[in-house]
Structure 1
Amino acid sequence: MQNPEIMTTDDAAAYLSVNKRKLQLDRVTKRAIPFIKIGRLVRYSKADLDAYISAQTVGKTA
């Protein structure tokens, strides 16, 4: 049973509408998108992806 709050690289790439290669490059260069390592597995938290999306919003007013 898969937790919908934890995503694979493929799921996260689809959620962000980016190529999975972009996520792989971000991991190697230690850029902004946080990820989870479980042994050799890489996973992404939906909450972290949502926070990343919010942080990228330009022209947002409070």
Structure 2
Amino acid sequence: MHTPPKETIERIKEEIAKQLSYALDNLPALVEDKQAAKVLGVKQNTLAVWRSTGRYRLPFVKVGRMVRYRVSDLAEFMARRTVGHTGEIA
């Protein structure tokens, strides 16, 4: 899988900050699974399935029952999965 350009990841981080109502300079490093689901446009249960099956290999942090996602990982995940047309491999 290709590594997206840093500029693309930073642009997506800006979009995430806006979507979660944070200032870019005050964006937390980790967000709850509910916030991650909102950013990705999926349900929390979908993220739980992805975690248990490893379907998309989206990294997460788990301490006890607490699940958090790094904003940088979400931005990179979204950048890697962005395609220009349906013939591209994501």
Counterpart of 2:64 in structure 1: which amino acid?
G
Q: Normalising by structure 2, what TM-score?
A: 0.58
- 2:30 aligns with 6
Q: Distance in 1 between matches of 2:39 and 2:30?
A: 12
Counterpart of 2:45 in structure 1: which amino acid?
R
- 1:21 aligns with 45
Cα shift at 1:59: 2.1
Q: Deviations over 1:22-59 (max 9, x none)?
A: 10000000122110112321110000000000010112
Q: Distance in 2 between matches of 1:9 and 1:29?
A: 16
In structure 1, list runs of 5 or more residues that go unmatched. none
In structure 2, list runs of 5 or more residues that go unmatched. 1-26, 86-90
- 2:24 aligns with none
Q: Choose the corresponding residue for 2:72, options 23, 44, 47.
A: 47
Cα shift at 1:5: 1.9
Q: Deviations over 1:5-32 (max 9, x none)?
A: 2011101101111111110000000122
When Rg is computed on C-alpha atoms for both structures, the one with the higher figure is: 2
Q: Normalising by structure 1, what TM-score?
A: 0.81
**Superposed structure 1 runs of 4+ greater than 4 Å apart:** none
Where 1:26 maps in the other structure, the secondary structure is helix
CA RMSD of aligned residues (A): 1.7
